[in-house]
Structure 1
Amino acid sequence: MAQRHAYILDRVKKEGNVRVADLLAALDVSAVTIRKDLALLEEKKLLFRTHGNVSLANPYTKDRDVNEKENILADQKTRIGLKAAELIEPDDAIIIASGTTVLQLARAIPKEMRLTVLTSAMNISMALLDKPNVEIVQLGGIVRKTSTSVTGNYAESILDNFTCSKLFLGVDGIDPEQGCTTSNMMEATLNKAMIRTAQKTIILTDSSKFGRRGFGKICMLNEIDQIITDDGISSSMVQDLENIGVEVTIV
């Protein structure tokens, strides 16, 4: 039993998120035995279980203040934002949603570039104010103070008047079963409307979000086109995403 537990913990530590089915195949034991092993390890607070998966980190996200989140994996977010800026073309019309990683994208947009940006986040608009050739369309609605962004029916209705080439979307969780999620239900609804408005959906997220789940479901993984993330993502997650047609860019 001790050897099984050591194997399980070592694999979860290396991969971050592991399927129970993969553990069953590797250890060649019964499902009952694996369930008992995982229950014991979870009781000792050595891992967390969700349906069909185990992870080291608590998979359920909570709503945190944007100022707190901006300091988490700041270097990775900066690199992701710089890479995403390379995808923007002159005279593009794009949507930048809310979040600390997409904020780095806004900051990375060249000052001389001409484009139109729709955004729900006031801090995104503020980051674009010193770029004279960027036309900013600020969505209106109910302000979420923790994210400095707006939500609600009014913001969603404004999107009906536009068609954009790309949506750059931040998320709180990416899970193989639950898809892309956020910690706020109303923001998830607005994000869905953004996906309908854009021709291409690009997720910008640091690797800590993989295997995590938020309260509000945005979309399934096969509904997105590309993910830009850092090299902390596991090879198995990259393979799963590419198998369903998602382009994965690692910085």
Structure 2
Amino acid sequence: MSKKEDRKKQLISILKESNGASVKELAAELNVSEMTIRRDLKYLEEKKIIDSFYGSAVFNPREDNPIVSSEKEEQLYSISKNSHKMEFEKNCIGKKAAEMIEEDDIVVIDIGTTTEKLTQNLDNELKFTALVFSANNLLHLLGKQNVDILLSGGIFHRDTGMFESAEEMELINNTRTTKLFLSAAGVHEKLGVTCAYSYEVMVKKKIIKNSLEVILLIDSSKFGNVSSAFICDLNCIDKIITDSKIEQRWVNLMSEKGIEVIIAE
């Protein structure tokens, strides 16, 4: 293997393990010039192995990546496959989030396996209004007699359990909520909050815009991760509810950005 090919292999390995790095960081790590790194990254981007974002690079996890395609164990997100991952931690997060809903609140509950723990842990007597657009959250709310449910329906995405339609967007456009319980696949210092599928993004951006308070429910394993679909920058988030396994450096970073981190135990 040539020196150049060996360096590219090292680049891929670093980006897969670190979930993203800047040109400057990569140049220092491999002891080469930034120009050399930029040439290598351009080649890898053309091969769909990495994605570049404003001087930083991340490994491309999508199926069009030839490396991903050759790794049989690699799987895209699906709600059924992820429902039991970090289940204890997600349940703690869901319980803490459920405690934050107050009488007569108007809340929006995003799709996902962590927000599902919120709807599972709700007080049966609590009276409030919930805007939802996922099958799992709808099913859990049906048993809560005091909850008024807003749901438009539409095309059903089995991978995330999400309903999608033009009517849904109109409903979201015309609804203002006191609290948004947002889900995400990754939180990154430079690249912000991301999710797995592009069809999620429009809905997530709109509910962020129309909510008085944005509360991100995310387990500790997602910090440092980057998925392909960009939701928002960190400055759009008011609070984060996560589990006790979160590294202190992330708590400090969020605090510096004015984001309250709530540890669910």
Normalised TM-score (structure 2): 0.74
Distance in 2, Cα, partners of 1:237 & 1:34: 22
SS of the residue corresponding to residue 195 of structure 1 reads: helix
SS for the counterpart of 2:178 is: strand
Task: Please give the per-residue CA displacement for 1:14-54, whole angstroms capped at 9, x wherever unaligned.
Answer: xx969979xx8xxxxxx7452259x9xxxxxxxx9998889
CA–CA separation in structure 1 for the residues paired with 2:169 and 2:132 = 11
TM-score normalised over the length of structure 1 = 0.78
Q: How far is the alpha carbon of 1:186 from its aligned partner?
A: 1.3
Counterparts of 1:199 and 1:60, CA distance in 2: 33
- Name the structure 2 match of 1:147: 160
Residue in structure 1 matching 2:108, options 74, 95, 111: 95
Match of 1:193 in 2: 206
Counterpart CA distance in 2 for 1:124 and 1:98 is 7
CA deviation after TM superposition for structure 1 residue 59, in Å: 8.4
Contact residue 171 and residue 205 of structure 1 kept, 8 A: yes
Match of 1:134 in 2: 147
Q: 1:119 to 1:63 in 2, by over 3 A?
A: farther
SS of aligned partner of 1:88: coil
Q: Match for residue 256 of structure 2?
A: 243
Asked if the contact 1:122–1:138 (Cα under 8 Å) also holds between the matched residues in 2, the reply is: no
- Which among 117, 123, 130 is matched to residue 110 of structure 1? 123
Q: CA RMSD in A?
A: 2.9
Partner amino acid for 1:156? M
Distance 1:116 1:19 in 2: 39
Q: Compute the displacement of 1:183 (Å).
A: 0.6
Which ranges of structure 2 fall in alignment gaps of 5 or more residues? 1-13, 38-49, 63-74
Tell me how far 1:233 sits from its aligned partner: 1.4
In 2, Cα distance between the equivalents of 1:187 and 1:102? 15
Higher relative contact order (CA 8 A, sep 6+): 1
User: What does residue 43 of structure 1 align with?
Assistant: none
Superposition deviation, residue 174 in structure 1: 0.7
- Give the counterpart letter for 1:91 in structure 2: D
Aligned to 2:227: 214
Cα separation, 1, equivalents of 2:51 and 2:229: 19
Change (3 A) 1:59 1:227: farther
Percent identical: 30
Change in Cα spacing, 1:166 to 1:186, as seen in structure 2 (3 Å) is same
- 5+ residue gaps, structure 1, are 1-11, 25-30, 40-47
Tell me if 1:69 matches 2:82.
yes
Distance 1:64 1:18 in 2: 16
Find the partner of 1:160 among 168, 173, 177: 173
Whichever residue aligns with residue 148 of structure 1, its letter is G
For residue 137 of structure 1, report the CA deviation from its aligned partner: 0.9
SS at match of 1:188: helix
Q: Which residue of 2 aligns with 1:44?
A: none
CA deviation map 1:120-139 (0-9, x unaligned):
11110100111110111113
Report how many aligned residue pairs link the two structures: 219
Q: How has the CA–CA distance of structure 1 residues 196 and 33 changed in structure 2, closer, same or farther, with 3 Å as cutoff?
A: closer
Match of 2:245 in 1: 232
**Cα separation, 2, equivalents of 1:84 and 1:93:** 14
Amino acid at match of 1:219: C
**Structure 1 residues 66 and 159: CA distance shift in structure 2, 3 A:** same
Cα distance between partner residues in 2 of 1:203 and 1:125: 19
In the TM superposition, what whole-angstrom CA distance separates every residue of 1:37-90 from its partner, at most 9, and x where no partner exists?
Answer: 9x9xxxxxxxx99988899xx784863221211100100000000001111001
